[in-house]
Amino acid sequence: SYGKMEDFYRTYGDKLCMAGKPTAVLCGSWLLSPRLRELLPEDSGIRRFAADYELFTADPASEDFYQWLFGGKRRLSELPEETSLQKAVKKYLRGGGNIGSAAGIYRKGLRL
């Protein structure tokens, strides 16, 4: 994905960005939620992805993760447990937690 982003901005960045090609990229996602660090192993792809970003805000009340992780919000008892992440998040929700979301800046290795 990063390679495709770099190709896109290399090709269109000067036309789309008034100040020229971007030097950083902003991303807001449930995948950046600090809560996921507690639930995922250190070598998980999601944790590696999140480590690429400098977080600047978090929304602990966001429920966007339900759509992406479970296909929509439902009663806790109806949430699927097909993956280890679904199982871990469901257990976390059962304990009163919420995944939320966060936003960060990606600057690492941009080759635009």
pLDDT of res. 24:
82
Q: Which residues contact 91 (CB under 8 A, 6 or more apart)?
A: none
- The model's pTM is 0.84
d(C-alpha 21, C-alpha 28), whole Å: 20
Low-confidence ranges of the chain (pLDDT < 70): 109-112
d(C-alpha 105, C-alpha 102), whole Å: 11
pLDDT of res. 110:
67
pLDDT of res. 12:
85
Starting at the edge strand that comes first in sequence, how are the strands of the sheet with 53-59 ordered? Answer: 25-29, 101-106, 53-59
pLDDT of res. 16:
83
Distance, first Cα to last Cα, the chain: 14
Phi–psi pair at 42, nearest 5 degrees: -55, -35
Q: Which residue's structure tokens are 């339900």?
A: 66
Contact 84, 31 (CB under 8 A): no
Please, is 102 exposed, middle or buried when counting C-beta atoms within 10 Å of its C-beta (0-12, 13-18, 19+)? buried
Contact 40, 46 (CB under 8 A): yes
